[in-house]
Amino acid sequence: MNIKMTASEAKNKIQELTQEINQHNYNYYVLSNPIISDYDFDMLLEQLIKLEHEFPELADENSPSKRVGGDITKAFETVKHKYPMLSLSNSYSKEEITDFETRIKKLVEDEIEYVCELKYDGVAIGITYVDGRLSRAVTRGDGTQGDDITTNVKTIKSIPLKLMGNNYPKEFEIRGEIFLPKNVFEELNKEREEIGEQLYANARNTASGTIKMQDSAVVAQRKLDSYLYFVLGENMPFKTHLESLETAGKWGFKVPKEKDNFIKKCKTIDEIFDFINYWDKKRNALNFDIDGVVIKVNSYRQQEEMGFTAKSPKWAIAYKFKAEQAKTKLLEITYQVGRTGVITPVANLQPVLLAGTTVKRASLHNADQIEKLDIREGDWVFVEKGGEIIPKIVGVEATQRDIFSQPKKYITHCPECNTLLERTEGDAKHFCPNEWGCPPQIKGKMQHFISRKAMNIDGLGEETIEQLYNAGLVKNIVDLYRLQKEQLLPLERMAEKSVNNILKGLEESKKVPFERVLFAIGIRYVGETVAKKLARHFKNIDAIKTATFEELIVADEIGDKIAESIIHFFTIEQNQQLIKNLKDIGLQFSLSEQQLENRSEKLAGLTFVVSGVFTLFSRDELKNLIEQNGGKVSGSISKKTSYIVAGENMGPSKLQKATELGVAIIDEQQFSGMI
């Protein structure tokens, strides 16, 4: 049934859906307590998006549909903070906290009540709300002015677009920290490892890089999170800091809760120390990084009496945790060969307790790092675990070095297959080029192939691959499809049921869509998203294989590095053979009928440039629609451009160029008409 709604019916429905979705977002992302299934949630969102497409004039810029991103920020505008974003004075010892207490006690007459909070190690942000709606989000910058990152911040699900209730001030700013949860960070790095990209060093830098990305759709996928800790404005209806945060919680913000012990009212210095000691020990258990504790005076009146220094409030101080360090002996330097052939030197240590875990190994990164720190086998070394996932060696105890100690020469050949190592200019790490003959690389390719986001083959896991490889049953991906029941049954931990499961999983994988097969075959730098873009653009593997460099870089998100890697991949005989064999086996190497069905050739022969901000579609949707209908998308205007689809805020230089060349400019409605 598809009865058309009137505009006023649609308006009501949009309002209703918006409210419902906002509430579910709050339940899920702020309270961690969802009350409907993901599926039901998606259905609600889908309804809303559909209505907004049908009635674009009713679509709100703070609609929860904006959470998926899609708008592009070409350059982040610099804006001046209404209230300067000050920093906190830091302290590193308990004495300094005692001094702080003595100092501020002299500034006021009455008793002081403190609030202890976590010091979040993320990216500071100030968000302004007007009439209960998110109006602008700005980075700290230099404290006086920062970058407008509103579009990206709107994709962070724990930050409300519209406030709950109705007793909020007409205008106010709320400050806090944006961060990448540890599990999301680890997942992200795992994906990077799979496609052979250099790993991100820590969650904080990754969060700060993410928040400044131009494509908000990518930001939306990164699952950033937030904690808010400071409300500012004129005539605020609060008497204390704690009260301000409790109220902000009711408006829908994610604020620290007393029940989690993330925030605590303290009356004495001992209580403050208890809070510090508790989190110094427990911080590893949190799913986000903290680098200390912040102590604030609770009463607004007392805060005012104490005032500010040039840089920071006198009524607050940060206590910074020491990065946990341990001293231990470096027994041996060994070398690890990654799935993509990258060599990582590893320090094998005398086991030592650090940040709640026993550390036996630490990364030495690369040859330069070893040389820079002059790290030698037998040395006593200092190991540290900061925000980084892998412990690192930060120094050597020179006084304890054996007088006969010698620097160790870095390996020249692969420890696994003895091939001469290579090091490309600009790369910090050595790598083993023997892609097809080096065991960890062979196993790695198969493990990536079967992994969840690639072919997701039921019954097969990393250990099974290891087992099959060691038993001499598989040497490459194709061998997996040639496995026989009789070969598997005699293996350890294999029973009739698990064997059937594996064989069924392999059979089923023949239906996995092309884009995932493309990701699974492991072309360097072709991750999940890039594989999707390639599949949509070229439609089948042969078109990708024969594409020239210029043809490749025209596709969405394909840059020079990826294009070169794709071309290189197809020059290798083994890769060509692999694809031929997998094709013969029956894997999907082109888009399916159904995927092609939504296609037409209405725009064949036409080249489009998409510019500006749109309301009916996101930019990606527009580009997909152009390609699905046989048109081409180009990044710059030239004589070959047939149309420019222009949204709001199209760049002035583009407009000038279009006029000079006489290229037709159409809006999204006109474009819609064409297809």
Helix axes 573-585, 560-571, angle to 10 degrees: 80
The nearest distance, CB 343 to ligand IVH, in angstroms, is 38
Q: Which pair of tokens denotes residue 17?
A: 């859906």
The nearest distance, CB 68 to ligand IVH, in angstroms, is 27
The nearest distance, CB 143 to ligand IVH, in angstroms, is 8
Give me the catalytic one of 80, 94, 106, 119: 119
Determine the Cα–Cα distance for residues 287 and 225; give it in Å rounded to an integer: 11
Point out the residue whose Cβ comes nearest to ligand IVH: 124
The nearest distance, CB 102 to ligand IVH, in angstroms, is 21
* Long-range own/partner contacts, residues 299-303 (CB < 8 A, 24 or more apart): 299/112, 299/113, 299/239, 299/240, 299/241, 300/236, 300/238, 300/239, 300/240, 300/241, 301/239, 302/108, 302/110, 302/112, 303/241
CB half-sphere exposure, 260, CA atoms < 13 A: 15
Nearest by Cα to 446 from 502, 393, 400:
502
Residue type for position 207: A
Q: Which is nearer to ligand IVH, 68 or 232 (CB)?
A: 232
Q: Which is nearer to ligand IVH, 86 or 331 (CB)?
A: 86
Q: Which is nearer to ligand IVH, 189 or 240 (CB)?
A: 240
The nearest distance, CB 295 to ligand IVH, in angstroms, is 10
Determine the Cα–Cα distance for residues 118 and 291; give it in Å rounded to an integer: 8
Task: Please answer whether residues 115 and 264 qualify as being in contact, where contact means their C-beta atoms are separated by less than 8 angstroms.
Answer: yes
Q: Which is nearer to ligand IVH, 123 or 658 (CB)?
A: 123
The nearest distance, CB 247 to ligand IVH, in angstroms, is 17
H helix intervals, 289-396: 300-306, 367-373
Task: Please answer whether residues 379 and 397 qualify as being in contact, where contact means their C-beta atoms are separated by less than 8 angstroms.
Answer: yes
The nearest distance, CB 354 to ligand IVH, in angstroms, is 24
Residues that bind ligand IVH in the complex, under the rule CB under 6 A: 86-88, 117-120, 124, 140, 177, 229-230, 294, 313, 316, 318
The nearest distance, CB 316 to ligand IVH, in angstroms, is 5
Listed in sequence order, the residues at least 6 apart from 576 whose beta carbon sits closer than 8 Å to its beta carbon are 570
Q: Which is nearer to ligand IVH, 17 or 255 (CB)?
A: 255
Query: Looking up tokens 């990518």, which residue turns up?
Result: 218
Determine the Cα–Cα distance for residues 655 and 663; give it in Å rounded to an integer: 10
**Torsion 447-448-452-455 (CA) sign:** negative
Q: Which is nearer to ligand IVH, 230 or 279 (CB)?
A: 230
Task: Please answer whether residues 478 and 578 qualify as being in contact, where contact means their C-beta atoms are separated by less than 8 angstroms.
Answer: yes
Q: Examine the residue annotation and report whether 623 is marked as an active-site residue of this protein.
A: no
H/E run at residue 135: strand 133-139
3-class DSSP state of 590? strand
Q: Where are the beta strands (DSSP E) in 289-404?
A: 290-297, 316-320, 324-337, 343-354, 357-363, 380-385, 392-396
Q: Which is nearer to ligand IVH, 93 or 638 (CB)?
A: 93
Q: Which is nearer to ligand IVH, 91 or 451 (CB)?
A: 91
Burial class (CB in 10 A: 0-12, 13-18, 19+), 243: middle
Residue 43: other Cβ atoms inside 10 A:
12
CA dihedral 102, 108, 113, 118 (to 10 degrees): -60
Task: Please answer whether residues 51 and 21 qualify as being in contact, where contact means their C-beta atoms are separated by less than 8 angstroms.
Answer: no
Instruction: Tell me the C-alpha to C-alpha distance, in Å, between residue 631 and each of 533, 549, 551, 593, 674.
Output: 15, 19, 14, 19, 11
What phi and psi values does residue 345 have, to the nearest 5 degrees? -75, 140
> What is the set of active-site residues?
119
